[in-house]
Amino acid sequence: MTDITKRQLSRSGVIALWALMLFSVGSLADPDAGKYGWGQNRAISRITDSVYRFGSDGQYGAYIVNAHGVVVIDGHYCASGTMAWLKQEIKARHQQDVSYVILSHDHPDHICRTELFEDTATVIGHRNIRPHILREKRESAVPDIVFDEQMDLYLGDLKINLMFLGPTHSDNLIQVHIPTEKVLVAIDFARGKNLFPDYRDLDVHNALKALKSLSRLEDVEFVLGGHGPVKTQDNFMVYHRYLQAQRDRVLNHMVEGKSLEEIKTLVTMDDFRDYPRIDEYLNSQIETMYNYLWRYREPNQPIVMFR
């Protein structure tokens, strides 16, 4: 999910952003990238002994480093120039090339420009990510190694556990856990009150299950999402409460035989008004929740999906 385009900008802002991106496509090394405002706040912050967070423009990835190598988790916006900058920064700060790149999921804002590291890095992702990258012609590295449920990667003694909890936010989102550092990298999934605009590639039921599992995962102190500040595990259940309530309400009204248009007027989420941007997203959330639940249940009487 493109967080800047979907959550932080108005509709006109989205158009402006796409215009900027069109100008900047293929211009990673474009020295003029800065004149469009990209990458002005690039930063690297150290979270623990071995884990760092990098980012700019409200978008973050992470990297893990010790004497045995460097693992980069995720890319960045194609036009931000941040990955080219990061490559130089890692070399300057740690005197090492990147040995592995992990791709959290296939959404373009999180994997773009990872191809810059393919000269030295082995690229890892979930088995389902490859078809998306190839079909959509993403500007990204393509995984050399894929896995199904979980894999462990070691930098010397430092264990990095990659977990796939089933389809959630896309069918290929993975979580990266570094237990001894007590860090969990949960890109686009440690949401707190940061709502999804819609549920177009969300597996709602499995996402609810995965959010609960991650809220209880042991050996986690720092949760690194793809956007916003460093978080804690309570963020998973804060989001879970909203998604569960909305799912239950839409489903209950569907069972009552209410139409989509009726449900839109009934499910106001007024008791969650401290979650920002509800008014902006509610319509598309309910439409896509209805669509999801349409495919989930068989009513006693046939109903027309959209009426």
188 binds Zn ion (CB under 5 A): yes
Mode of pairing for the β-strands spanning 183-185 and 51-56 = unpaired
Candidates 6-14, 49-57, 106-114, 131-139; binding stretch for Zn ion (CB under 5 A): 106-114
Contacts 24+ apart (CB under 8 A), 211-219: 211/236, 211/237, 211/239, 211/240, 211/243, 212/236, 212/237, 212/240, 213/165, 214/165, 214/175, 214/184, 214/186, 214/189, 214/190, 215/240, 217/177, 217/184, 218/179, 219/177, 219/179, 219/180, 219/182
198 touches Zn ion (CB under 5 A): no
Which amino acid makes up residue 45? S
Q: Which two tokens stand for residue 297?
A: 């249940």
Which of these, 185, 199, 190, 286, lies nearest to 238 by C-alpha position? 190
- Please report, as a single letter, which amino acid is at residue 235: N
Nearer to Zn ion, 9 or 251 (CB): 9
The residue (of 1 and 78) whose beta carbon lies closer to Zn ion is: 1
Q: Which stretch binds Zn ion (CB under 5 A): 14-22, 187-195, 199-207, 272-280?
A: 187-195
The β-bridge partners of 100 are 71, 122
Residue with nearest beta carbon to Zn ion? 107
Our finding on whether 107 is near Zn ion (CB under 5 A) is yes
Of 52-60, 107-115, 246-254, 276-284, the segment contacting Zn ion by CB under 5 A is: 107-115
Q: Which stretch binds Zn ion (CB under 5 A): 26-34, 104-112, 233-241, 296-304?
A: 104-112
Q: Does 227 bind Zn ion (CB under 5 A)?
A: no
- 151 to 170, contacts with Zn ion by CB under 5 A? none
Shortest distance, position 226 Cβ to Zn ion, whole Å? 7
Distance CA 266, CA 260 (A): 10
Q: Is 1 in the site for Zn ion (CB under 5 A)?
A: yes
Looking at the Cβ atoms of 107 and 132, the one nearer to Zn ion is 107
Which of 62, 93, 61 has the alpha carbon at shortest distance from 77? Answer: 61
Smallest distance, Å, CB 43 to Zn ion?
A: 21
CB 99 to Zn ion: min, Å = 25
The residue ranges that bind Zn ion (CB under 5 A) are 1, 107, 188
